[in-house]
Structure 1
Amino acid sequence: MPFLTAVKTRWGLSVDQREADALHRLAADCPNETLTVTLAR
């Protein structure tokens, strides 16, 4: 799931509340890890 979050961050894409809730549920079981994201221009 970090991949989807990184893509949305890179491209400045928004999420609605329903998608944010789903991302939080899916990420709950993932280990904490730092991602470096280069913002798109």
Structure 2
Amino acid sequence: MERTLAWISKHRRCVRDYGTRPEHAEAMVHLAMIMTMSRRLAR
């Protein structure tokens, strides 16, 4: 779990709360994990 949170915190949009709705924050976390996993799979 701690490693996953570290991966998410590497993305700027997930560190700060820019959105006013929880759905936006959830979408940014999903997007960050998609980007992280796609980079790992591309290697």
Which protein has the bigger helix share?
2
Q: Which has the higher contact order (CA 8 A, sep 6+)?
A: 1
| TM tier relative to shorter chain | 0.3 to 0.5
Q: Taking structure 2 as the reference length, what is the TM-score of the superposition?
A: 0.35
